[in-house]
Amino acid sequence: MIGKHKQNLSIIDNELKIEGFISSTGKLIIKGEVTGTIKGDVVIIAEDGCVDSSAMQVSRITIGGSFKGEITASKELIILATGTCSGKVQCRDIIIEKGGILNAEVSCKTFNKMPSNKESKIFNSTPKLKKVK
């Protein structure tokens, strides 16, 4: 395995219910029920998965099932057509497929440097309308 990077994969399967703190590296797939705090790289909540978390800190999250609580995603949040998300969300990028449900306080933040006032152009003019006779 020269030159290949091994990524961890963890699965919380359908019949599994977990309460407490979860810390994972790599990819975590949740098909069961989780109540508690989650810290990880990539989290995927499958269509059957259900998460109730007072504090989730991840790099990326994909929601195909149900999420309730607070998420901080440093990169992206994706809500699939089968997914529901409620609570409080802070992320850099957000993608919601048609049919996906987001019912949350959302704060999307970019980490890019904003241009200074001298570099940005401000447009305060209103478009001129033509009169139709």
Helices (H), ranges, the chain: none
pTM: 0.78
Band the pLDDT of 6: cuts 50, 70, 90: low
19, 32 Cβ separation under 8 angstroms: no
Q: Is the confidence at residue 110, as pLDDT, over 80?
A: no
pLDDT digits (tens, 9 = 90+) for 20-59: 999 999 999 999 999 999 999 999 999 999 999 999 999 9
